[in-house]
Amino acid sequence: MSQADKTLAKMKANPLGWRIEDLQAVARRFEIDWRHEGSSHCVFVTASGKTLPVPAKKPIKPIYIKKFLLLLEEP
C-alpha cells in the first residue's frame, strides 16, 4: 500500500486537519490534475473535465475533503 493510499484511508476516517499538499499527493496517485499558481484556491480537474476548487488555507474544512473524496470515486 502506497503512502497516498494510506493518506486516502485516513482522510475517509477523519476529514479534519488536512493540508493542500496531502490532497495533491492523493490526486497525483489517482492521476487527477490540479492547478495552483499562487492563487488562494487549488483547482482539481478530472479527466472527464469535472473541477473542484479547494481553498488552500490551512487546515482545509471537512466539507472540501468530503467533496474531494467524492471526486475520486467518479468514473
**pLDDT of the residue at 55:** 94
Cβ atoms of 44 and 71 closer than 8 Å = yes
pLDDT band at 9 (very low <50, low <70, confident <90, very high): very high
Question: What are the pLDDT digits (tens) for 10-30?
Answer: 999 999 999 999 999 999 999
* Residue 54 CB coordination number (10 Å): 23
Three cell numbers written together for 56? 488552500
Class of domain 3-73: alpha beta
Question: What are the pLDDT digits (tens) for 24-60?
Answer: 999 999 999 999 988 899 999 999 999 999 998 888 9
Please return the burial class of 41, using the count of CB atoms within 10 Å of its CB with bins 0-12, 13-18 and 19+: middle
Q: How far is CA 13 from the centre of its chain?
A: 15
